[in-house]
Structure 1
Amino acid sequence: MKKVFITGANKSIGYETARQLIQQGCYVYLGTRNLKNGQQSVEKLKSEGLRNVEPIQIDITDQASVDAARKEIGGKTEILDVLINNAGISGGMPQKPASVDLNVLYEVFNVNLYGAVRTTKAFIDLLKNSSQPRIVNVTSGMASMTLCGNPDFQYRDYVGGIYGPSKAALNMYTIALALELRDTAFKVNAIDPGFTATDFNNHRGSGSVEVAGKRILKYAMIGTDGPTGKFISEEINPETGIVAF
C-alpha cells in the first residue's frame, strides 16, 4: 500500500485528491494547518467508507510545525511513496506588479515556494526509502512564462505580480530538484490542476475538483517510464499535458 502525504488537504483540490488516492488503495496522511478542520475532513471520508486516512497538523510556513509533522509521520512509517505539495495561497486581487505589496508578496512566497521547499527537505529521507518515490508540486498555468508571454493566452488579463511569480519559482525548484535526482527512481513534476472552481478563486473556475484531483493523481502514481522535471497542464495541452515553462 502506497503511503501519500498531501499538504493543504482538508478541502478543495487537496481533499478530492486524497479521496481519489484512497479509492486507488493508497494510505493518505491528510495535511492540514487546522487540526480540527482536518479531523472533520477525515471523518467525512470515513463516512464514505474510505478509512485509510488520518490527519496530520502542519503549517508549512513554520519550520517547527513541519519538523513535528515529519516526526509524527516518521513514527508511523519508514517509507513515504508520494509527497504532494498542494498547500497554497493566492494573495488576493489585484496584483499589479508596479504597486505590489511586498508584505503580501513575501507571505505568498512563504507558502507557495518556501513552504513547499521546507516540506520537501523534511520528508526527502522517507521518500528515498520508497522504490518509486514521487513528488508533485501543484502549480498553475499562470506560472508559465511561455504562456503568460503569449498574446493569445486565455488568462493573460489575469497575469499579476504575486501569485504567478511564486509558482514560477516553484516550477524552477521542480526542475532543479528533478535534475539533482535524475539518476534515482524519483519522479518530480509540477502539475497544473487547471482553473478549478474552489473557494481559492471564489468558485470562478470552469473546472471541477474531480477533474483536478484526477490530474494530480495521475502524476502522483506514474510508472517508471513517466516524465520528470516537467510542467504538466492537461487543460492547456490535452494531448501530452507537457507545457513549456
Structure 2
Amino acid sequence: MTEKKIALVTGANKGIGKEIARQLAEAGYRVLVGSRDLGRGQQAAAELNEAAGGGPDLRAIQLDVTDPKSVQAAADTIANNHGRLDVLINNAAILPAEDSAVSEIDPDVLRTAFETNVVGLVAVTQALLPLLRKAERARVVNLSTSLASFTLVGDPSSRMSTRRTFAYNATKAAVNMATVMLANELRGTGIVVNAADPGNCATDMGGWEAARTPAQGAAVAVRLATLDADGPTGQVHAEEGQLPW
C-alpha cells in the first residue's frame, strides 16, 4: 500500500481552507487541519471525516501563525509524527473589517494585517521548509487574490481598481513576492511554489452573497498542490489560468 502524502492547510477550520482540506483528503492525502483554536479544528476535521463516510484522513493541529511558539510546536509535531511534509497550503489570512483606502486606513490595522498575512506566512514556511525538503516532490501554495495584481488594480476599467482595501491588497502583493522569491530560491530542489487566487467566494471573508462557492475557490489551490514534476513555479493562478503581476 502506497504511503499517504502529508498536507498541512493553515486556517482550515472554515471557509476555503476547510474546503481545500476536504478536496486534498478526497485525493488521498493525509491532511492536517491547521487552526488557531484546536477545538474548532477538531470539529472541522470530524465533520469532514464524517461527511465522507470515514474514508478521508483529516486530523486537527493547533497552529496560530502569529505565535512563534505555536508555529514551532506544529513543526515539531509534524516532524515527530510524519518526518516530512509533502504539501503546505498557506491559507490563513485576515481581511480587517476596518480596512480602507490608503488615505484613510489606520496604521495599526495595516500592521495587524501584515503580521498575519505576511509575517505569519513566512514564519510558517521557514519552520516547515526542512520537512518539505525531506519530501520527494513537495508543493507550497500561498493563497493570494487578483486584488494583489498591479496590472488589474492599475487598470481604471477593472472592477479591481474600485476596491478600497489597502491592507488586504498590499499584504497579498507581498505574498506574491514571497511566492516568486521562494520559488527562485528552491529551483532545482523539486519543491514547487505558487500562489492561488480562489476568487470571491461565499465565505466569512468573501461575503455570503458572493457567486463562487468555497469548492470552486479551493479547486485552483488543490490543482497547484498536486502539480506534476514539470508544473510551473513562481506564478499566481486563478481558475482561468495564470494571472498578471
User: Shorter chain as normaliser: what TM range?
Assistant: over 0.9
1:178 to 162, 175, 183: 183
2:9 counterpart of 1:6: yes
Partner of 1:57: 62
1:24 to 15, 23, 27: 27
Give the count of matched residue pairs: 240
SS at match of 1:232: strand
Q: Which sections of structure 2, spanning at least 5 residues, go unmatched?
A: none
CA distance in structure 1 between the partners assigned to 2:126 and 2:136 by the alignment: 18
Q: Which amino acid aligns with 1:244?
A: P
Give 1:1-245 correspondences, 5 Å limit. Answer: 1-48=4-51, 49=53, 50-234=55-239, 238=240, 241-245=241-245
TM-score by length of 1: 0.95
Q: Which amino acid aligns with 1:243?
A: L
CA root-mean-square deviation: 1.1
Q: CA deviation at 1:159?
A: 4.0
Q: Which amino acid aligns with 1:232?
A: H
Off by >4 Å, runs of 4+ in structure 1: none
Q: Which amino acid aligns with 1:177?
A: L
CA distance in structure 1 between the partners assigned to 2:140 and 2:57 by the alignment: 20
Q: Which amino acid aligns with 2:244?
A: A
CA distance in structure 1 between the partners assigned to 2:22 and 2:16 by the alignment: 10
TM-score by length of 2: 0.95
Q: Which sections of structure 1, spanning at least 5 residues, go unmatched?
A: none
SS at match of 1:107: helix
CA distance in structure 1 between the partners assigned to 2:149 and 2:164 by the alignment: 10
Contact kept in structure 2, 1:4 and 1:82, CA below 8 Å: yes
CA distance in structure 1 between the partners assigned to 2:183 and 2:158 by the alignment: 27
